[in-house]
Amino acid sequence: MHTRVPASDFVGRRAELAVFAGAIADAQRGLPSVVLVSGDAGIGKTTIVIESAARADVAVHLGRSTHIGGEIIPLAPLADLLRQLRRSRPDLLSETPALTVLRDWFVPRSASSALDGGLFVAVLELFSHLAADAAVVVGFEDLHWADTVTWDLFDHLARNLIDERVVLVGTFRANEVATCPPQRGRLAELARLPAARRI
């Protein structure tokens, strides 16, 4: 479970918190936002996300990219999010026919199994249901460790959220992305989206 930290720990973070506050305010009006949070390891990227959501009194769901022994785990943030929702909101995974695609998706699969298109549509619908009653913050953490399909999914969500009350967050280590031209290019494209903000 995510916990808040003392407000005194946010001295000097007023600008970052203001960016998030604006994104959440937009989402509450039905204008989804994308927030790209970069920084060094341990600098507090996750803490900023959690604190911003807490200050706005909105739910936050974060899935983490993972690698084990140098191997990237495909779709790890999605698997992480679904595990959390299976415990906290199991109803969401069975509310509509489209979401049945996600019902058993609790262990990362091979990247190729996500490319039938149904998965991306189902995740978009899941986010819509998450935000049905109030704005939510949904994050993919450590994108510098993400596989290609996770990046494709994040890009799909960023470009296809229309009026959902969602703040889509991607966190990453700037120095690692800087050494990976494909990731650097993806982030440059995402940053140009009208709804995108960078921290």
- Higher per-residue confidence, 106 vs 60: 60
**Closest to 53 (Cα-Cα) out of 24, 16, 14, 81:** 24
Residue 112 has pLDDT above 50, yes or no: no
131 Cβ neighbours under 8 A, 6+ residues apart = 27, 164, 165, 166
Per residue in 128-158, pLDDT (tens digit) is 999 999 999 999 999 999 999 999 999 999 9
For position 82, what pLDDT does the model report?
86
For position 116, what pLDDT does the model report?
55
| Cβ-based neighbour number of residue 30 at 10 Å | 13
Instruction: Evaluate if pTM is beyond 0.75.
Output: yes
Provide the token pair at 57.
Answer: 């009194």
Torsions phi, psi for 23 (to 5 deg):
-65, -45
d(CA 53, CA 19): 12
**Closest to 99 (Cα-Cα) out of 134, 117, 128, 126:** 126
Torsions phi, psi for 155 (to 5 deg):
-60, -45
